[in-house]
Every structure is written in C-alpha cells, then in structure tokens.
Structure 1
Amino acid sequence: MFALFGTLVLERLGISLAALQIAGGLVVGHAGFGMIVSRQTLTDDEKTHGATKTDISFSPMALPLIAGPGAIGVVIALTARNPGVANRLGVIGGVVVIAAAVTVLLRFGTPVVDKLGPTGLGALTRIIGFLTLAIGVELVTHGVLAAK
C-alpha cells in the first residue's frame, strides 16, 4: 500500500522526502543500536506471558524491523525517488521477494538458532545489529544531503 500511495500520504501531510529519510533512518538505526547493546527489552509481565504460551512465534523485536516505520519509510522513499509504474512494480516485487525470504527464515530458523546456541546467537545478533545501524546511518545521510 505504501509503495502505491506513500508519496500521496507524504504530500497530504506536508512531509518532505528528506524528513522521511531522516526519520526512517533514526528508527532503523535505533533498532540496530538496540541489537548491539544488551538491554532488557521485555517487561516481567511479557516474559511471564511468553513462558506460559505454547506458541511463541510472535516476536515483538522482529515485527517492527520487518514491517514497521523504518521499512515503510524505505518503501516510500524508494518509490518517491524512482517515480513511474515500472519502478513502483519493481519495489513491490522486491517487497514480495523479501517477504518470501523472511517467511522461509522464520519457518525454518529454529534449527539454526538451536545450533548457534546463546553465544552464537548473541554474536550474530550484534553483527546484524551493526549492519542495521549502518543502514540507518545511510538513510539519515541521504536525508541530510537531500535537505540541503
């Protein structure tokens, strides 16, 4: 939806593409930084609730990274910088491919997590967090350069 109508929403709200890129970059960068530094992300009530459920497939950390404000901002920025039907279809195609890849990873990721163990998973989380932070910085940089 945001690939098709995101630029219209920006225009109606009076938000520039540069501001969107900076805001999206800050959100993505914040998520990446949170993966690098260890901190408690769940409340005690959330931990208790998660421990009693038989299906814990919903991940509060993963959902905002997959389809949250940062992802929405990137899609809007891509379509705004590359107008035209073919480009929008390309962005939509990219979103579909990424959605399929995420589906496969979430479906079959448990054996990999089991093999990595807590130490390997912590190291992988910090590496991916660093790369996510770098993507956020790149988005902010593009936004600042576009604002000049």
Structure 2
Amino acid sequence: MIDLLVNGFVTLFVILDPLGLVPLFLALTPGRSSVERQRIAFRASLIAFAILALFGLAGLALLQGLGITLGAFRVAGGLFLFWIGFELVFERRQERHQRSADRAVEEQHHDVTDIAAFPLAIPLIAGPGAISATILLSGSLPSLAGQVGLIVVIAAALAANFLCLVVAHRLDRLLGATGRIVISRLLGVLLAALAVQFVADGVRALASGGA
C-alpha cells in the first residue's frame, strides 16, 4: 500500500504542476501583498481539497452507478493522464491554463469572480486530470486504511502545491522561464510513464473479467 500511496502522491503532484502554476498565480494576483496571496492560495487549496476528497471517497460509487467498471476507467483515465503528460512535455498545458487565467483576469476587473475558486481551485488545481487520478488511486485502495491514506496523499500534494504558491515570487525569480520548462517536461515524461502503467493495469483487469 505504501508504494501505491507514493505513486499516487507523485502522480497528483505532477498533475497539479505547481511550478507551472506559479506564473499564472502571480498574473492573477497583481499588486497583492504576500499576506493576501497566502490567503488566496490557502482558500484555493481548501476548495481543491474538498473537491478531490469528495471524488476520492465517492468516485467509485459514481462509476458503479453509471455501470462503468474500474478496469475501463483505468484505461480511459490512463489515456487522459498520458495526454496531460504530453501537454507538459510540449508546453500545451501552460497555454490552456493561461487562457483560463486570462478570462479570470478580465472578469476580475468587474469584480464578478473569486479567483481562489475560479480559476485557481477549479480548474487549475482540482481539474479533470487531478480528479481522474484521485478516482484511479481510490480504486486501488478500497480498504478503510487505504481511504485514509488517500486523504493524506491528497492533503500532502495540495500542501506542497500551497507552499510553492506561498513562495511563488521567489520561485519565479529563481527558476525563470527556462527552469520551469525543463522541470515541467521532465515531470511530463514521468506522468506519461505512470499513465501507461494505469492503462496496462486496466487492460489486465478487463482481460480477467472487467472488474
């Protein structure tokens, strides 16, 4: 179970892509003090935790209600995570997230949005990729101890993400655009490999009976 939890943490951390989120977070909070940025990051992290924890605990029941087997979801989820890895390697994900951030900035001028909820919590942090990964991990940890471990993994990944946002200004200066690109591409390759493993596990489950 420890191996699954470690893999789950790595998968979630890569999907959250905190280093890629740093410039978007700074763009969404221009002129804000460090205390205000911390409050926004904390609120966004809490909202994201509530969303991911909900899907982690109830996602399997939702799949069963829709008649979707875990094996089928592992294949579909693995392919989806592979696409996110592809986006990270070829810098497509940053562009997509940038469009969401730009829309929020435009709306912010009219005071009609809470950037902690949108677009930070949804979809930049707790997006479809993070939700899919959470449900996949939940399916591998059906016991009570496993579900508790899942919640701990979600909390740990979001805590790491929160810490990156807290020091966003320093990280942005330290890494620069080149550093962020290099790290994102390496993480994208890692995520693609994990996604292939999800697909392989799903294919085996389907071949053995579809469970």
TM-score higher than 0.5: yes
CA RMSD of aligned residues (A): 3.1
Of the candidates 70, 78, 87, which is equivalent to residue 137 of structure 2? 78
Which runs of at least 4 in structure 1 moved beyond 4 Å after TM superposition? 56-65
Q: Please name the residue that 2:33 is paired with.
A: none
- Note if contact 2:77-2:136 (Cα within 8 Å) is conserved in structure 1: no
In structure 2, the residue matched to 1:88 is: 147
C-alpha distance in 2 between matches for 1:145 and 1:87: 22
What secondary structure does 1:83 align onto? coil
The separation in 2 between residues aligned to 1:36 and 1:62, in whole angstroms, is: 23
1:49-68 alignment, distance < 5 Å: 64=123, 66-68=125-127
Q: TM-score, normalised by structure 2?
A: 0.57
**Does the 8 Å CA contact 1:27/1:69 hold for their aligned counterparts?**
no
Distance verdict in 2 for CA 1:112–1:23, change over 3 Å:
same
- Is 1:25–1:70's contact at 8 Å kept on the other side of the alignment? no
Deviation at 1:80, TM superposition (A): 2.5
Name the counterpart of 1:147.
206
Q: CA deviation at 1:10?
A: 0.8
Q: How does 1:1-148 map to 2 (within 5 A)?
A: 1-39=54-92, 40-41=95-96, 42=98, 46=102, 64=123, 66-148=125-207
In structure 2, C-alpha distance between the alignment counterparts of 1:19 and 1:87, rounded to whole Å: 21
Mapped to 1, the partners of 2:118 and 2:181 lie a distance apart of 16
Asked which structure has the greater RCO (Cα within 8 Å, sep 6+), the reply is: 1
Letter in 2 for 1:127: L
Count residues with an aligned counterpart. 144
Q: 1:146 to 1:70 in 2, by over 3 A?
A: farther
Q: CA deviation at 1:64?
A: 4.9
Aligned counterparts of 1:21 and 1:143: Cα–Cα separation in 2: 5
Q: For structure 1, list consecutive stretches of 5 or more residues without a partner in the other structure.
A: none
Cα 1:58–1:112, aligned 2, differ >3 Å: closer, same or farther?
A: farther
Say if 2:55 and 2:131, in contact at 8 Å, map to a contact too: yes
Give me the TM-score of the superposition, normalised by structure 1: 0.77
- SS for the counterpart of 2:166 is helix
